[in-house]
Structures are given as structure tokens and as C-alpha cells.
Structure 1
Amino acid sequence: MRIVLSLIAFLVLVGCSASGPLYTERNNINTPAPGKALVYVYRIDTIIGSGVSAHLLDDGKDVGAVNVGGYFVYEADPGVHTLFTETTGIDEPTKIEMVAGQTYYLRIDYEPGTWTGTFTVKLLLEDQALPELKLTRYQGT
């Protein structure tokens, strides 16, 4: 019985990890469309929080979901954006002023708590984000 439960737990965790092509294998969008900002959203590959997908909401609009070890890309209009996740964890909104022509890197982290976990959205500089992003797999459409 213990083996069956361990196998089920393993399959649940594996089912919630990213499985697309690596960032380095994909022809990535390098520049945003005119009048838009380009936003990369990713989660590092870790066991913590791996059973939960994080849906990112930008000003209340669901722009995509990301599992551990995954990333997606979207374009945003310039201006102030309120970003948060809509999951079973407690949301912690982040506000970012996005500028047309700029690229932004957002890492979603899961911080376990006593009763529920918390997702946070962190804005990183390109030189901080790219080494982590290169280890992730594409989850976009």
C-alpha cells in the first residue's frame, strides 16, 4: 500500500512540472511589438510548491499559468500593472510600471506556510533572471 501511495504522490508531482522545450531550445521573442512591453514569467525547478500551478493575473486578467521549471511570455500595454496569482495560496500583489519597448522578467516563488502557502511575484533584472530562465521549459500556447 505504501508503494502505491508513493507512486501516486510521485505522479502528481511530475504531472505538475513543465514539459515543453527548454528556453535555450526555443526561438524566443527578443523584442516586444511596437507600443508593448514584453514579460517573461517563470518558476524555478524545485520540489517546494510543485503540486500547484500558478496563474498570473495582470490587472485581474489571467495571462497564463506556470508550473515549477516552466515559463511563458506575454505582451503588456505600458502603464502601471498590478500582478498577483490566483491559487489556493494567499496572493501578494506586486505593482510594476511597464514601459513600451522594455522587457520584464518575473519570477513566481512559493513560500510554504503553516496552513497555506504564499505566492510572490518578483521583478528581476535580466542578468539575474537569464541564468534561471535558461533552465526552464516553455509552457505557452
Structure 2
Amino acid sequence: MATPTVVNKFGTMQGWNSITVNMLGRDVEGITQLKYTDTVTKENVKGGGLYPVGRSVTDYEAEASITLYKEEADALRASLPKGKRIQDIASFDITVDYAKPDGVITRDRIRNCEFTNDGVEVSQGDGTIATEYTLIVSHIEYNVI
């Protein structure tokens, strides 16, 4: 008997429907996009000869943004004291849980986030209004559970 070919060795893949984003103490429902990335600058170090003699490691940089529906952003603003803007919110962490069909959860944590912008962009024909908010973050922790 022939051995069946495994088309997808990873099984059911994780997608948008498998994540939960928690920010400021609650799961965010009015979210359409989340982006986070970090980089470490690494460079080859030249010395005598043709090839590098070592490698340097310098700056760490983390970036993040979150896109929210206007209703979610309005609820966030409504929770603030009068006259305060979302840029005035003290730093907070964002937790991102990735759930696999077998129940295993992996978690990333975006640390010390603060909003750097606010606003609305809407055009004729838009059925919804969503805004991308850039976050300043200190660092990102991957696979914390």
C-alpha cells in the first residue's frame, strides 16, 4: 500500500480568526490589523584579508501599529477624562494570543506601548471607517507562554 502524501504537514494553519488581542485590560474586537516587528542591526566587521573577521551587533529597534474601527477608537476616547487625547494614555502592554486548533496557545507581548497619532481618514463609498494608529514601543517579547 502506498504511503499517503501529506499536503500540509502543519495541519490547520493559524489565521486572523485564531488571534486575540488584549489592550488596556480588554480583548479588542474592533480591530482590522496589527503589525509588530523588531530588528537588531548586525554588520560584518572587516579586518585583514578578504573575509570579515567578526560581526558587530548594535541597535535594537521595535515598531508596532494597530488599525481600529472608528467605533473602537471612539470607545477608547470615551473612557478618557474630558480634554485628554489617546496620545495622553500612559504606556501599556498589548498581548497577542495565537490559538491553534489543538488548544495550544502561544503569546507575544508588545511592551510599553503609547499612541503617537490620532485622526480619521474616510472616503466616499467607504462602508466602514478604520484608522491605523502608530505605536511607540520599547520591545517585543515573543513566545512568552
Q: Give TM-score scaled by structure 1 length.
A: 0.28
Which structure shows the bigger proportion of residues in helix conformation?
A: 1
Question: Which one scores higher on RCO, CA 8 angstroms, separation ≥ 6?
Answer: 1
Larger CA Rg, structure 1 vs 2: 2
